Amino acid sequence: MKKIGITIFAFALIFTTLQSFGDAFLAMFNGRSEGDNIVLTWQTGEENGIKQFVVERKTINSSFFDLGTVIAKGSNSVYTYVDQDAFSKGGDLLFVYRLKMVSINPNVPPTYSKEVTVSHNVSSVKRTWGSIKALFR
């Protein structure tokens, strides 16, 4: 009886960590600052009928806009998207990302992931140099 309780608890724990979006389950979605870029990583569980993932970004004072599209690979896949334009945003060093999951069926509305906030850690030297370069553009 003890093994059954532990097994049920384990399944419940795994199930609650997955984020459900229509026909896709996100097991993980996170982002990190890496040099001049921000690297986003996500992993899916079951992926049924998902055509693509649209990576969206906003700053605290703006609205979400599309950054890029990643074609769905199928269930239990790991994805990476590198935001190479984060450093060029100038003074904004806090970004919010989300995924828009688009179905193969055009009649099914897209669903969205949770939002992930990333603090972009760019060195003060790079920030100063970026400001100087911006003056001459």
Over residues 54-66, the mean pLDDT reads 94
Between the alpha carbon of residue 70 and those of residues 34, 62, 96, 98, the distances in Å are: 20, 23, 18, 13
- Look at residue 80 and tell me whether its pLDDT is greater than 70: yes
User: Taking the model in full, what pTM does it have?
Assistant: 0.72
Domains defined for the chain, CATH in brackets: 20-125 (2.60.40.10)
36 contacts 84 by C-beta, under 8 angstroms:
yes
CA distances to 40, 56, 127 from 35, in Å: 13, 20, 12
Say which range, 50-59, 68-77, 124-133, has the weakest mean pLDDT.
124-133
pLDDT at 121: 77
Q: Mean pLDDT across the stretch 113-121?
A: 92
Which tens digits make up the pLDDT trace of 86-104?
A: 866 556 689 999 999 999 9
Q: Position of tokens 């553009």?
A: 137
* Both structure tokens of 113: 């992931």
Tokens of 135: 């003056």
As a whole number of angstroms, the distance between CA 119 and CA 117 comes to: 7
Length of the chain: 137
